Structure 1
C-alpha cells in the first residue's frame, strides 16, 4: 500500500500476483513496477513460507531492501557479506535489533532456525548452496518450504545462470519468480526446457502503454560533439548521466569535466565501501526533481542500483542488455513521457572489460547492428529497444545453457573432496589501506582494486580475505576514489 500511494494496481502486476504455475518469468522495462509485482506474488505464494528475494549484487540487494522494506509489518533480514555494515550506514533501514544482528552474521547452515519471513540476499547466497555439501544439506528443509524471487537474471554470469537452471531442476516443487528487462533468446530457451519438468513457464510482459510509449531519441556521436549538448542540458538545470566502461576512464573523465567547470559527481566501484554508499546516495539525491544541475559520471554500477531519471544519457558501447539497462535511467519515471529525451552512444577505444582484443571486432559489430536499428534520431520506445535486441540476438546467438553439475546432488560420493566454487575468477581484490587499520570494520573500509602490477604484492599482509595495501601504495580520496601510485601532482580540489 505504501508503494502504491493510492494508485491502483497495474494489470500486469495482478497477473504476476495470480500466477498459478510453479515458475513465472516477468519481462518488463526498467521503472515499470516489476518489484511491486514480485512482492504481490510473494505475499500470495509465500503464505506461511519464507520468501527469498535474490539480487545479482550486494549493491542491488541493499538498495532493494532499503527501498521496499523500510517499515514492513513483518521482520525481514538483509543477508550478504556486508549486510551488518549496511544496517549501520544506509538510510531507510529498519532498526537492527539484537536478534537481527545475531542472524545477519549467522551462516546458512542455521537457515531452519531463522525466524524471519523475508530474507533479501544475493543470488550467490542461495545458488551457492548447490556446491556446498554441509550448508546445502543443512539448509535443504528450509529451502523446500520457501519461495524465491530472482531479479535481473539477464545480468547473471553464464556460470551463475547455469546454477539457476540447476536450482530449478532440483527444487521442482518450489515456487520461483524470475525477473528481467531483457533476456537473451538462448537463456529463455534454456529456462523453458528445464521448466518442462516443473509444469511449464508462465511468461508475463510489462504494461504495454508504458513500454510502447515514445521515450528516447538515440544517436551515435564522437566525444567532441557532445560537450555543447551537455552544457545546454546543465544550463537548463537538467541532469546528465554519463556511463563509461572502466573506473580509470570514469575518474579521468570526471576530473576533465571538473576542470571544464561542470557540476560533476563521480560514482564507481573503487571506493571504500562506506564511501561508496555515500557516493551513491549523493548521486541519487542530486538527480531528484528540483535539485540543481548535475553531471554524474559512473561505470556499470549505474545499470541496476541507481533509481534515478536523467534528462540526457551518454554511454560507451556495451553489451546490448547493459545498454538497455542504462537507458532505463533515462526519462524513467513517467509512464507516458511528455517529451522524448536524448541518449548518445560513444564507441570506446577498446572493448574492455567485455571482450578480449581478438574478439573486439565481433563485439562491436553486434552492438552496431543494434544501434543501426535504434540510434536513428527518431522517437522510440522500450519495446523498440527490445525488438531490435531480439532480432540481433537471434542472429548472433552462440551460447547454449545446461544446468551445472552440482557435487553433493549429482555425485554425493565425491562431494566432500571436490567442492566447486560458484565464485568466478575476477579482476579485483579487496584491499584495506594500511593507514585505515583500526578506523572501523574491515568490510566498510575495503576497496575493490585491480590486481597490483607490483610483483611483491602476494607477500603483503592480509586480514582474512582482505589484502593490506602498504602506506603510499594507493592514492585515495573520498570524492574520486582509489588509484595506484601518484601519476602527477594532486589537483587543488583533492587537497
Structure 2
C-alpha cells in the first residue's frame, strides 16, 4: 500500500543528512487499522512486524488494540500516551481504540477510510498540543499543522457501505484544507454525516405479527481466560486481602475473535477457557488466534 511506502521512505530519511528535520516530521505518527472479525495479527500485528524491520531502533514502535489482558491493556494505554508526550520520534499502530480512549497528539495520522464520525475522532488525535508565546499568542507546539493520510478500505467489515460513504464525503470536503479542532467540533455539531437508520423494535412495531427476536446484533468477539493463566490467577487471588478468585480473574480476561467450536471449551465461571493451541498470547502484541 502507498502508506507503507510513505512510512518506509520517511523513516529511512531519518538516517540522511537531514536526519534532524526528518525525525521531527515523523516525530509522532499514529497508524490506524480497522478491527473486524478478521485476525488482529493480519492487520496491526503484521504491520508492526514489517515496520520493525524498517524503523530505526532509536524510534519506539508501539502497537495497541483491544485484545490484551485487561491489566496489559492498561499498561499499553499508559505506554502509548506517555510516549507521545515525550520529545523525539515514536510510531504507534492502533485499531479503533485510538478514536476515543487515547489522549495524545500526533504529527502525522495514517488511517483507513471509516465513517465520518470515526474519522473525526481520529483526526482529533492531530494538532492537540498548543503553547502560548511570550506575546500571548497561541500556536501549535510542533510548529506545523499535522497531516492526515486516508487510504481506501475495501473490506465489507466492520462498516457498511453507507457508513463509509459518509467518510468519503467528509474527506472530499476537507481534502487539502488546513483545519483545527474547532473545525472538527463544528462539523460534528452540523451533523454532516448521513443520519443513522432508525432502530426498529419487533415488540413495539410488530403489532399482531410480533415474533421473538434477538435484542442485539451478534458481535465478533468473546471474552475468555487463557488456560496458561489459571494457575497465576489462583496465586494472585491468594495474595489478595479478600482471596477472591472471581475478582482477580477479571483483570486477566482477554477479548478474542469468535472461534468456531468455542462452545465446547471448558469454562471458568462464565468465561470460556481458551486452550494454548487455539490462542497464542504476547504481552507486547496481544492475543493471536491460531
> So what's the TM-score if we normalise by structure 1?
0.44
**Residues 374 and 384, structure 1, Cα contact 8 Å, conserved in 2:** no
**Structure-2 residue corresponding to 1:381:** 180
**Structure 2 counterpart SS, 1:271:** coil
**Structure 1 counterpart SS, 2:119:** helix
**Structure-2 residue corresponding to 1:42:** none
Given candidates 98, 106, 113, the residue that maps to 1:317 is 113
Q: How far apart, CA to CA, are the structure 1 residues paired with 2:51 and 2:77?
A: 19
**Residues 115 and 165, structure 2, Cα contact 8 Å, conserved in 1:** no
**Structure-2 residue corresponding to 1:439:** 232
How has the CA–CA distance of structure 1 residues 257 and 323 changed in structure 2, closer, same or farther, with 3 Å as cutoff? same
How has the CA–CA distance of structure 1 residues 229 and 403 changed in structure 2, closer, same or farther, with 3 Å as cutoff? farther
Give the drift of 1:438.
2.4
Q: How far apart, CA to CA, are the structure 2 residues paired with 1:463 and 1:425?
A: 23
1:258-273 maps to which residues of 2 (within 5 A)? 258-262=52-56, 263-273=60-70
> So what's the TM-score if we normalise by structure 2?
0.73
CA shift digits 1:109-142 (9 cap, x unpaired): xxxxxxxxxxxxxxxxxxxxxxxxxxxxxxxxxx
**Structure-2 residue corresponding to 1:429:** 222
Given candidates 329, 348, 368, the residue that maps to 2:153 is 348
**Residues 430 and 448, structure 1, Cα contact 8 Å, conserved in 2:** yes
**Residues 98 and 122, structure 2, Cα contact 8 Å, conserved in 1:** yes
How has the CA–CA distance of structure 1 residues 251 and 385 changed in structure 2, closer, same or farther, with 3 Å as cutoff? same
**Residues 115 and 167, structure 2, Cα contact 8 Å, conserved in 1:** yes
Q: How far apart, CA to CA, are the structure 1 residues paired with 2:22 and 2:102?
A: 20
Q: How far apart, CA to CA, are the structure 2 residues paired with 1:470 and 1:225?
A: 40
| 1:239 corresponds to 2:28 | yes
Q: How far apart, CA to CA, are the structure 2 residues paired with 1:476 and 1:354?
A: 27
Given candidates 362, 365, 369, the residue that maps to 2:169 is 369
Paired positions, count: 241
Give the drift of 1:331.
1.5
CA shift digits 1:380-428 (9 cap, x unpaired): 22344455564742xx33534699989xxxxxxxxxxx9x96x763211
Q: How far apart, CA to CA, are the structure 1 residues paired with 2:288 and 2:121?
A: 27
CA shift digits 1:7-27 (9 cap, x unpaired): xxxxxxxxxxxxxxxxxxxxx
**Residues 116 and 164, structure 2, Cα contact 8 Å, conserved in 1:** no
**Residues 110 and 149, structure 2, Cα contact 8 Å, conserved in 1:** yes
Q: How far apart, CA to CA, are the structure 2 residues paired with 1:366 and 1:304?
A: 19
How has the CA–CA distance of structure 1 residues 230 and 344 changed in structure 2, closer, same or farther, with 3 Å as cutoff? farther
Give the drift of 1:226.
4.2
Given candidates 467, 471, 475, the residue that maps to 2:280 is 475
**Structure-2 residue corresponding to 1:94:** none
Given candidates 207, 227, 231, the residue that maps to 2:8 is 227
**Residues 234 and 240, structure 1, Cα contact 8 Å, conserved in 2:** no
Give the drift of 1:277.
1.0
**Structure 2 counterpart SS, 1:438:** helix
**Residues 374 and 388, structure 1, Cα contact 8 Å, conserved in 2:** no
Runs of 4+ in 1 over 6 A off after TM superposition: 401-406
**Structure-1 residue corresponding to 2:50:** 256
CA shift digits 1:438-485 (9 cap, x unpaired): 2122211111001103x3x21110112211012322111110111112
**Structure-1 residue corresponding to 2:124:** 328
Given candidates 260, 283, 303, the residue that maps to 2:99 is 303
Give the drift of 1:365.
3.1
Given candidates 192, 195, 205, the residue that maps to 1:397 is 195
1:33-432 maps to which residues of 2 (within 5 A)? 222-229=3-10, 235-236=23-24, 238-246=27-35, 247-248=40-41, 249-262=43-56, 263-290=60-87, 292-334=88-130, 336-337=139-140, 338-355=143-160, 360=161, 362-376=162-176, 378-385=177-184, 390=190, 392-393=192-193, 396-397=194-195, 399-400=197-198, 425-432=218-225
Q: How far apart, CA to CA, are the structure 1 residues paired with 2:168 and 2:284?
A: 34
**Residues 433 and 471, structure 1, Cα contact 8 Å, conserved in 2:** yes
